[in-house]
Amino acid sequence: MKFFNLENFVTFQLYVCLIPGNAWGVTAQLVRSILPKEQIVDLQWETTYLEIEPKVYGQKTQPEVVLNGILSKRKEWTLIWSSDWSLTISKDEQPFALVVPIQNDITPVELQAIGPMGEVEIEKIYLHASEWKTVLEQLQKKPPLRSFPTTALGYSFIQYEEDGSINLTLHALTGRISYQYLVFPPHWDLALNVFATFTPSTAKFVGANLRFGYVIPWITEPWSFRLLGGIAYLNMIVAGDSFGYHSLVYPQIYPILSKVFKNGTSAYVYLKYVFAGPNTPLLNFKEREIAMGGGWIYPLSSGHPIVLSIDVADLRIHIRSEHHTFSTSLNLGYGW
């Protein structure tokens, strides 16, 4: 568990939505190079006509096609498309699939097959899609998604210490609910999330975060950099209020760096600093929370993303006594 959960907010910063089916009947034609040196002889493509499917990444729309092929007689070879995609051939007939973005009337694709002795074979194909802009025009007529709810469940390991006299080690189940709204897309958004530990224990932790963020425009896709800030609410529920802290509100700031990969999955990392304590100066390492973490986002065929994230946080505050909490959390989330 961590007091200030970033996972849900970042999940929808990177939200990937699939639009099922090809409602416009737009296709691309696969044409192989006629040069023998630009063909892998034992590579076969499933079809030469491919449906162009639209994907929406946040506020960006991207027409794509899926290339399905089979590479034969190349066991222990490596098939390489880009720095983000490679495949080690483990079968006599190895199936594979490429998700290729369509960005022009003719999109070139080059594959390399590298053998165990350093042999190299090249396959060059061209995707002809003269009507690809039709997909974009239809998508642009649709209003963009602006609100994104999500839920998550996680395992949390918590170590809590107060004034050197109270020491707790907890294994907790933590639930989270988040909601994000794009106030001024694509650069400004608002997010709210709440969380609580459910596992019966001496102490329970409850919190909420309200954040407002800006997307830095000069960081270009597939990368994205966001600078966000807001307030954090912290509370401990303890029988008899014999220890802990109650109803604290602090400002927070954190940057998030993310990347969307060609196959539609996304990844992100973040670093966060919370200004804790009364009249706290900037970067006061005696009273603060420092958190860091990252996550991986996988879009399902339904358009709803699954998110796996890990978070580490260290909180130090002084309220009548010294409070120190160190927590590690592993979360699994689902976007609605």
Dump pLDDT digits (tens) for 67-77: 999 999 999 99
Nearest to 297 by CA among 4, 10, 58, 1: 10
Q: Which of 247, 232, 144, 142 is CA-nearest to residue 191?
A: 232
Least confident of 49-58, 137-146, 238-247, 302-311: 137-146
Question: Could you give the residue range(s) of every CATH 2.40.128.100 domain in the chain?
Answer: 7-16+145-335
Q: Which CATH number fits domain 7-16+145-335: 3.40.50.410, 3.20.80.10, 2.40.128.100, 3.40.50.150?
A: 2.40.128.100
Question: pLDDT digit string (tens) for 217-265?
Answer: 888 888 989 899 999 898 999 988 889 988 999 999 988 899 988 677 8
Whether the CB-CB separation of 215 and 198 falls below 8 Å is answered with no
Among 3.30.420, 1.10.10, 2.60.40, 2.40.160, name the CATH number for the domain at 27-130.
2.60.40
Q: How confident is the model over 300-308, as a mean pLDDT?
A: 81
pLDDT at 104 (0 to 100): 85
State pLDDT tens for residues 88-139.
Answer: 999 999 999 998 988 888 999 999 999 999 999 999 999 998 877 776 666 6
* 122 and 40 Cβ atoms separated by less than 8 Å: yes
What are the backbone dihedrals phi and psi of residue 211, each rounded to the nearest 5 degrees, phi first? -135, 150
CB-side neighbour CA atoms (13 Å) of 258: 28
Q: CA dihedral defined by 91, 95, 100, 106, rounded to 10 degrees? A: 100
What is the rounded average pLDDT of the residues 136-160? 78
- CATH 2.60.40 maps onto the chain at 27-130
